[in-house]
Structure 1
Amino acid sequence: MKAPHAPRFRYATSQRLRLTIPALLALAAAEPTLAASCAELNGAQIPAAAIALPTSGAKVTAATLAPGGGSAPQTFGPYCDLSVEIAPIDRSAPNIRMRIVLPEQWNSKAMMYGGGGYNGTVPNVAGNVPAGPVDQPTPLGRGYAVFASDSGHVANPLNPGDFAWNEEALANYGHDALKKTRDTAMYLIEQRYGQPPVHSYFAGGSTGGREALAVVQQWPTDFHGAIVLYPAYNAAALDLQFGRITRALAALGAYPSLEKRSALLEASMQACDGLDGVRDRVISNQAACNAQFDPATAKLNGRPLRCPDGADTGSNCLSDAQISALKVFDTPIRFSQPLASGERGYPGFNTWGTDLGRPGEGLQAIVNRLGLNTLQPDYPMPVHGTGFAEGAPYHSGFWDEWVRYFVTRNPAFNSLTLDPANLGPWQARVDALSLRQDVNQTDLSAFVANGGKILMAHGTSDQLVSTRATADYYRRVQQDMGVGQTRRFMRYYEIPGYAHAASTVFNAAWDSLSALENWVELGIAPKRQVVTDTVAVPGRTRPLCEYPGWPKYKRRGDVNDASSFVCVKSHQGRH
């Protein structure tokens, strides 16, 4: 795909490549070498041979030298902003749209961002890593070349799963687009600066967290480190759990209103908040709460949370049908036969103490959409507004899209009729999807041999990706590679009160990138990591505890200061 008058570029191999890493970083920051100007990159062709997976090559469709911007301390200098399209093999498949920003003052590093949900939009490459702190520069502000893609399709707001009609688009979403995007970015970085990055990192949450683990597992020498938040790593298994929960909530009288969910959260707080040594509206000893809280016997302000005789008689109590549905949320699904990926089921969620939705605006409205939303699941799946996230629970819309476009490829199919635990005639199709969507390899030795490090974190109040699933993956890695070896390259933290990307209980901010840089580049392992709340009590801090630890109050000191807590371990109940 060579266009006429395409600019010629040189691969620079110079004395700079033979410098030590610290000297190279210092030189790059002080005197960036620009092998090609931003304008010269406009219209540039990236040959298919430069991309390891099959494509028809790529092309820079726009190149703009942008001025610096941002607000202190998250300012950034001038950068070259490139829009790129990677052409498919199948002409009916969509292009992969990507964006890469190349700062004038380059630090010789690269950062790739993952997506979210069904993808379909290019993430903000000038923004921060997931749960990044507002008092530290973004990767672009630090001098990183930053890039991301839409994973190979443009999202349809009403039906974000409909791209799966096309096999190449589906494969790109599975994980192929990650490699294609990365290789294209590396080509352009070399053209711009005359050399490849010294260090490359990946950061993502949810689907982006799955993508972070995908690149670590599939292409272990491409990245030196990964920031992995609330990863939907076993996505096919998760989709099936979504279906189980959706079917339970769709039962007659089973869907709890916002007011009822608010009552459940308050009852959970009254029962479990003090289990960590202090009543601060954050349940830190989640395992103990899971073990002892039962909505059927719980109290709210001294009165039973269960409605009298189990009937639906008020907004401050739960009926038996609602309690039954919520207990489905709390418990695992077990498949009648293992998926081809090896997954045998999917755990329940930390339902008790999680904000599943309550009356409110602003951030609360976002939390509501990611929780149980405002409409009961039904056929067709109810929506209002402009997208499937407006109406039925987010996970119900996700399940419905997956069944209609990924599994059956029948837009009229009633997803409530498919039994996620007993797939019957759909078993083979779901098996095939699991091989594309589940990234559950636990032998990460090739990544470790390349010096790779992983920082993984998950909020205990996540309502879309189960914290228990992430803990299970971490334990699998420990079992496969050994506890000691795992700790040499990986950390897993659980953040009490943090939900799926946003929380009104404890909205976490963590300087994970500095911790990862120090570990990879300087050999300084993470110690005494701290997470900061940005919403409920802005500025309060808690220690990040290595799993299975949780922060217990010392019974003295400022309850809003991390130094007043100590990390303890507990194996009580379900994690």
Structure 2
Amino acid sequence: MNARHLGIVAALTTSLGLAGCSDDDAPVPPPVAPAPPVQGAPLPRLAPAVGAALGACAELATRISYPDTHITAAKPVAAGALAVAGKPVAAHCQVTGQMLRRVSPVDGERYAIGFEMRLPLDWNGRMFYQANGGVDGSVVPATGPAGAAALDNALNMGFAVISSDAGHGAPTPFFGLDPEARLDYGYAAVGKLTPMAKSAIQAAYGKGPDRSYIGGCSNGGRHAMVAASRYADQYDGFLVGNPGYRLPLAAIANIAGAKTYAALASTPGEPATGFTQPERALVSNAVLGKCDALDGATDGMIQDGAACQAAFDLQRDVPTCSGARDGACLSAAQKTGIGALFAGARTGSGATIYTSFPYDAGLAANGWASWKFSAPINLDSGAVAFIFSAPPEDPASFDGRDFVLTRSLDQMLARINATSARFPENAMSFMTAPDATNLGKLKQRGAKMLVYHGTSDPIFSSDDTRDWYRGLATANLGDASNFARYFPVPGMNHCAGGPATDQFDMLTPLVNWVEHGQAPDSVTASARGAGNAAGVNADLPPTWSATRTRPLCPFPQVARYKGSGNVEDAASFACR
């Protein structure tokens, strides 16, 4: 194990008061219990950020100095040279570099934490850490997505933005052979990069950031959620999208799904034929038939997800095939297997792997199918085998399809919880937020957290995020809404897509909450129909307006139709 491991772990502090007296005759006062937190007590409000102007860009290549950090370039980028969602990005300076270069004593590969920072000429005094998705491994443009399919970005809003490869230089899972690279991917790269980025901003503008934000979707949402626990003192706002809250478990559950679909397949070896597109449309339409009107409007959207799960029953509400499968029914075996996956995947011995998935309107989307049928073999297999397992598999003999279809789920579950001399921290430790519902440091600082999750997400279940949020509320006397709010996105698949209004800006409301005390009671989301600058959502039903809007509501509220008004307009709905 490399002795230079610099993983940063947020310290848990406790205080112990000891009372004593010098007079043996004096009474000893009884211990005083700490006052319980007061429901609804006001929290600190953080001051708004104050901006500054950037000086010469090229000079930053030599002016930025931080231990074990190599700045490889600093170059000006003209206004409009970069565009996001068709919108030209303002002039800025692009700084690239690496931290902590090393050669692994385990696999002999060269590692470093690669990064880029984009520093606007007209800076708003804020930093945004762009947490990227997948297995990381590449430094993508540091623009700072403001939400799902957003039309603006943090860089264009005036933030200084950093993006990184999380400590390995290729988007493949083989870095998992190196213990330090695993920790960098899980949490340590954020801890190492954050003080460096603030130091670089100080060098660039003559002052550090007044307010710091971190955000991302998918694995990026997981990064932000972990940072809320480990680095609550470093960030003021946390933007968490479709988080892989318990990513190793979700990956194994997806492998369990592939095993089930392969067993149901009409074409051997092709899991997609175990639950075909016509069959998925059949189930989606049956769910809509039971649930669409529960929010007061029959509009192809399921706003009241909780009521829907109580109203819909797969066995009762979908026809059972009496003969061959033809897309108009499900076989009895399909109902048993698919129903078990939605209820929560289990191992062969009956051990629970992951949480349930909600029945929703987005099951027929191509994105749903890709995650369920292709990702287990092409993505989840490598992640479980090399990043999460102790010990990892042998790359020379590894076959992803064989791993998924023949290996024991019980063994996979055991190995992601295992440690060894070489891998002393298991995957459930380095990939998940420690004590995830204990965010007292974040709360008491005045920091804020906004979370969103598509209810048709096929890989990370919105039920898992909902359960986490319920736990957070329980840990805060039943209500965490004064510092953290969760917004389900009806119909949305993984970070975008599905029959959904999947375009929204969550960064602006987060800033307004952190710096101005304006808690978001709803966020307006739009459909991405023809002509949308961020790209058309191919999953939109043809009966919808291309510009349909809906309010996203903080859980447990749902958007309900007011009883009159245009059903394509968010103004006709209220969060209740």
Could you state the TM-score of these two structures normalised by the residue count of structure 1? Answer: 0.79
SS of alignment partner, residue 197 of structure 1: coil
Distance 1:225 1:78 in 2: 25
> Which of 221, 246, 253 lines up with 1:234 in the alignment?
246
Q: CA deviation at 1:506?
A: 0.7
Distance 1:84 1:338 in 2: 48
Distance 1:89 1:491 in 2: 40
Distance 2:344 2:367 in 1: 26
Task: Tell me the equivalent position of 1:378.
Answer: none
Deviations, residues 39-85 of structure 1 (Å, cap 9, x unaligned): 1222666433xxxxxxxx11111211110114899443211101111
Deviations, residues 137-156 of structure 1 (Å, cap 9, x unaligned): 42111111011101112334
Task: Tell me the equivalent position of 1:251.
Answer: 263
SS of alignment partner, residue 221 of structure 2: helix
For residues 512 and 427 of structure 1, do their structure 2 counterparts lie closer, same or farther at Cα, with a shift above 3 Å needed?
closer
> Which of 484, 490, 505 lines up with 1:496 in the alignment?
490
Of 266-275 and 71-80, deviating more is 71-80
Deviations, residues 401-445 of structure 1 (Å, cap 9, x unaligned): 133213242342623344335658636527811111121521111
Point out 4+ residue stretches in structure 1 off by more than 6 angstroms.
335-339
Matched, 1:307 2:308: no
Distance 2:214 2:412 in 1: 35
For residues 41 and 562 of structure 1, do their structure 2 counterparts lie closer, same or farther at Cα, with a shift above 3 Å needed?
same
AA matched with 2:156? G
> Which of 402, 411, 418 lines up with 2:383 in the alignment?
402
Check conservation: 1:82, 1:100, Cα contact below 8 A.
yes
Distance 1:329 1:554 in 2: 36
For residues 236 and 367 of structure 1, do their structure 2 counterparts lie closer, same or farther at Cα, with a shift above 3 Å needed?
closer
Task: Tell me the equivalent position of 1:84.
Answer: 97
Q: CA deviation at 1:132?
A: 5.4
Q: CA deviation at 1:551?
A: 1.4
Q: Which runs of 5+ in 2 are unaligned?
A: 1-45, 266-270, 420-424, 530-539
Q: CA deviation at 1:240?
A: 2.7
AA matched with 1:463? P
Of 446-455 and 118-127, deviating more is 118-127
Deviations, residues 445-470 of structure 1 (Å, cap 9, x unaligned): 11122221001111111111100000
AA matched with 2:457? D
Q: CA deviation at 1:489?
A: 0.7
Matched, 1:216 2:231: no
Task: Tell me the equivalent position of 1:139.
Answer: 154
Task: Tell me the equivalent position of 1:393.
Answer: 374
Of 421-430 and 275-284, deviating more is 421-430
SS of alignment partner, residue 111 of structure 1: strand
Deviations, residues 155-188 of structure 1 (Å, cap 9, x unaligned): 34xxx22221111111111111111222221121
SS of alignment partner, residue 341 of structure 2: helix
Check conservation: 2:254, 2:376, Cα contact below 8 A.
yes
Check conservation: 2:221, 2:241, Cα contact below 8 A.
yes
Q: CA deviation at 1:528?
A: 3.6
Matched, 1:120 2:131: no
For residues 101 and 472 of structure 1, do their structure 2 counterparts lie closer, same or farther at Cα, with a shift above 3 Å needed?
same
Q: CA deviation at 1:119?
A: 1.4
> Which of 250, 253, 274 lines up with 2:293 in the alignment?
274
Task: Tell me the equivalent position of 2:310.
Answer: 291
Distance 1:155 1:116 in 2: 13
> Which of 408, 429, 433 lines up with 2:418 in the alignment?
429
Check conservation: 2:367, 2:493, Cα contact below 8 A.
no
Distance 2:409 2:569 in 1: 44
* Residues matched between the structures, number: 490
Deviations, residues 256-284 of structure 1 (Å, cap 9, x unaligned): 22232223222322332222222211122
For residues 425 and 475 of structure 1, do their structure 2 counterparts lie closer, same or farther at Cα, with a shift above 3 Å needed?
closer
Task: Tell me the equivalent position of 1:170.
Answer: 182
Distance 1:396 1:288 in 2: 34
Of 445-454 and 201-210, deviating more is 445-454
User: Percent identity over the alignment?
Assistant: 28
Task: Tell me the equivalent position of 1:61.
Answer: 72
For residues 144 and 260 of structure 1, do their structure 2 counterparts lie closer, same or farther at Cα, with a shift above 3 Å needed?
same
Distance 2:85 2:382 in 1: 41
- Mapping of 1:136-215 within 5 angstroms? 137-156=152-171, 160-215=172-227
Distance 2:212 2:367 in 1: 32
> Which of 498, 520, 540 lines up with 2:514 in the alignment?
520
For residues 540 and 424 of structure 1, do their structure 2 counterparts lie closer, same or farther at Cα, with a shift above 3 Å needed?
closer
Distance 1:83 1:419 in 2: 43
Q: Specify which structure has the bigger relative contact order, considering alpha-carbon pairs within 8 angstroms and separated by 6 or more residues.
A: 2
Deviations, residues 87-109 of structure 1 (Å, cap 9, x unaligned): 24544342111110011111111
Check conservation: 1:367, 1:502, Cα contact below 8 A.
no
Check conservation: 2:166, 2:189, Cα contact below 8 A.
yes
Q: CA deviation at 1:116?
A: 0.9
Distance 1:179 1:83 in 2: 18
AA matched with 1:559? V
Q: CA deviation at 1:285?
A: 2.1
For residues 541 and 42 of structure 1, do their structure 2 counterparts lie closer, same or farther at Cα, with a shift above 3 Å needed?
same
Q: CA deviation at 1:235?
A: 1.5
Q: CA deviation at 1:237?
A: 2.2
AA matched with 1:257? T
Q: CA RMSD in A?
A: 2.8
SS of alignment partner, residue 242 of structure 2: strand
AA matched with 1:444? L
Could you state the TM-score of these two structures normalised by the residue count of structure 2? Answer: 0.79
For residues 554 and 540 of structure 1, do their structure 2 counterparts lie closer, same or farther at Cα, with a shift above 3 Å needed?
same
Of 216-225 and 240-249, deviating more is 240-249
